Structure formats: C-alpha cells, structure tokens
Amino acid sequence: MNVAYVNPFISATIHMFKTMLNTELKPGTPMLKKEPLPSYDISGVIGLSGEAQGSIALSFPKAVSLKIVSSLLGAEIKIVGPELTDGIGELANIIAGNAKQFLSEFNLSISLPNVIIGKNHVIASPSGAPTIIVPFSCSFGEFAMEVSLKTK
Amino acid sequence: MNVAYVNPFISATIHMFKTMLNTELKPGTPMLKKEPLPSYDISGVIGLSGEAQGSIALSFPKAVSLKIVSSLLGAEIKIVGPELTDGIGELANIIAGNAKQFLSEFNLSISLPNVIIGKNHVIASPSGAPTIIVPFSCSFGEFAMEVSLKTK
C-alpha cells in the first residue's frame, strides 16, 4: 500500500471535523499496524471496492464518540443506541465519500457503514493488505483512523 | 430490503461448506435484526457496493471458528492469530463473491474483509438498512450470518 493513498482520508477527516463540527484536528504520525491491536470502544467501518479494495475505520473511545455525535446532532446523546451508531456510521460515510473523490483513479465505491461496538474489539485486515493507523486529537479527545487499501 | 436477496448468501454459504469443508449446513429461520444484538466472538465482515449497498458478516464462537479454519487449512489452529483471521476473512470473501453472481442486477463489488475479534462485540448497520440474521448449525457448531442490502 502506497502511504500517499492515506492522505485523502486524513484530509477528508480534518475537513469534515472543521466544517461540520467546527473543530481543529491534529493528526499524529501515521504508522503501520503490525499486528491486530485493540481499537477503541466504537468503530465505524466502511468497505471500499473498485479498482482497489480495502476499508476505512474510525475508532473512538465511548465518551469521545458521544461528544462528537452530540455536537453533530446539536442534541446531547448520553447512551450507546441508534443515534450514536447512525452518527458514527454517517461520519465514516462522509469521510470515505469525500476521500474517494481524490482517489478517482481507482473508481472506488463505498459500502454501507458497519458500526462495531465492544470494549477492546480488534479489527483485523487480511495479512496481505497492510493497514495504516493515523491517530487524531481534538477538543473532544483522541481517536484513530485505520485505512487499508490494496491496489491491483 | 427484499428478503429474497438473502437467498444467494444462504446458498453460497451452504455451497462453500459443502465443497470446501465437506460439511452439511442446516440454515435456521432468517429473522430481522431488530436492535443491535451481540454477535459471536469473531466476525468476518465484507462491504458490498454498486447498484445496491450493504454488508455481509459471518459471526462465529471462537471454538467454532478455530475448528472451521483448521479444517479449511488442513492443520490444527489453536490460537486467535493471523491464520485464523485470514481464514475467516477468506471464508467471508468466497461467500460474498459467490453470492454476488446471483445478484448481478446490482453489479455488486466487494471490499476486502475486515475481521472483528472481541467477546460480545456488536455489529450495527444504519437504521434505514434492515439486517437479516440467518442462524446456521453444522458439525463444527453454530454460527450466524448477517446480511444488510440497501437497494436504491
């Protein structure tokens, strides 16, 4: 995986947080996920397919996800329920949709989001498809993005 | 979601277990997933996109997943590691790839598999996209398939 392919996902995430949540994101250093590491408590995962195949996941601690979706909806969400999972799924959907425009050579299409809930769940990708993790921090707290894209 | 769209996934799963694992599967009654229910310990998830969008997940108790992948590889796997996650991902990949041929009207393409590991993890789909659960039983034990497909 060419790490340059991660840049559109980083840019899309920063743009989304700036325009929809009025929040500056600080991306950390992207790193290769060497083994299945636990993600945070709740992850929005979107499959990518077309001339390349992969997935993008945004993974949040529960408290951070509640703050972000509350801000997105303009109403306080206190529990893990459909508002939260729909909010996290939509966030992943917007970021994947935005990023794919900058990867037009792959003619990517995106799946519906799946939202994974579970303390210390692990998201593994196929061994042959390296995953890049990008940590982010912002006023809501910390979270991480995981991108895997296998070009043919 | 038209429940008829689940049939190709059921057939593909039965066919895969018969040809690659020499095992007869008994499908249970498909049911609508009404709220986010915990899945088993390990799930292979594949995103579907094209003229319809969705995902398919195959979710296994840990012991069942180890038995199935051991049988698939012809070598005993005892721990949750790359062999197991790659095996479960490949299984989901084969089933999704087979099923999509019978849903050619949607020109579906499939993402790389993500494999989710975690006791009682929950896989949620968007509220507007109903998910159908199909329980299966076989000599390896019980597992479940979850299919969500949103037609335009």
Average pLDDT, chain A: 94
Interface check for B86 against chain A (CB to CB < 8 A): the answer is: yes
Confidence at residue B1, expressed as pLDDT on a 0 to 100 scale: 73
pLDDT at residue number B37: 81
Look at A105-109, B30-34, B131-135 and tell me which has the smallest mean pLDDT.
B30-34
pLDDT-above-90 percentage for chain A: 87
Task: Indicate whether this complex's ipTM tops 0.95.
Answer: no
**Mean pLDDT estimate for chain B:** 94
Q: How many other C-beta atoms can be found within 10 angstroms of the C-beta atom of residue B100?
A: 21
* A41 pLDDT higher than 80: yes
Model confidence over A96-113: pLDDT tens digits? 999 999 999 999 999 999
Confidence of residue A55 (pLDDT cuts 50, 70, 90): very high
Flag whether pLDDT at B116 surpasses 80: yes
Instruction: Output the pLDDT for position A38.
Output: 85
Give percent of chain B with pLDDT exceeding 70.
100
The band of A3, judged by pLDDT with boundaries at 50, 70 and 90, is confident
Identity of the residue numbered B39: S
Q: Considering the entire predicted model, what is its pTM?
A: 0.93
Determine whether the interchain pair A110/B48 forms a contact, defined as Cβ–Cβ distance below 8 Å. no
- What pLDDT score does A73 carry? 95
Residue type for position B119: K
Range of the domain at A49: 3-151
pLDDT tens-digit map of B54-67: 999 999 999 999 99
- Tell me the mean pLDDT in the region A115-123: 93
How close does chain A come to B100, measured CA to CA in Å?
A: 13
Tokens 């790359």 -> residue: B82
pLDDT at B91 (0 to 100): 96
CA pair distance B22, A89, nearest whole angstrom: 38
Q: How many CA atoms lie within 13 A of A141 on its CB side?
A: 13
* Residue A44, beta-bridge partner list: A58, A115
Q: Would you say residue A127 has pLDDT above 90?
A: no
State the smallest CA–CA distance between residue B26 and chain A in angstroms: 27
Q: Which of A151, A150, A146 is nearest to A32 (CA)?
A: A146
Mean pLDDT of B120-144: 93
Contacts of A42 (CB under 8 A, 6+ apart): A59, A60, A62, A65, A80, A84, A85, A88, A115, A116, A117
- With CB atoms and an 8 Å threshold, state whether A129 touches B109: no
According to the model, what pLDDT value does residue B127 have? Answer: 86
> For position A129, what pLDDT does the model report?
87
Which CATH number do you get for residue A29? Answer: 3.40.1550.10
Whether residue B83 has pLDDT greater than 80: yes
What pLDDT, on a 0 to 100 scale, did the predictor assign at position A96? Answer: 96
The mean per-residue pLDDT over the stretch B15-20 comes to 96
Q: What is the pLDDT of residue B29?
A: 94
A53 to chain B, any CB pair closer than 8 A? The answer is: yes
Tell me which chain B residues have a C-beta less than 8 angstroms from the C-beta of A124. Answer: 82, 85, 89, 114-117
How far is the alpha carbon of B149 from chain A, nearest alpha carbon, in Å? Answer: 8
Q: Is the pLDDT reported for residue A90 higher than 90?
A: yes
Tokens of A93: 């959907």
Total structural domains within chain A: 1
Please report which confidence band the pLDDT of residue B18 belongs to, taking 50, 70 and 90 as the band edges. Answer: very high
| Per-residue model confidence (pLDDT) at position B129 | 87
Are residues A122 and B57 in contact, defined by beta-carbon separation less than 8 angstroms?
A: no
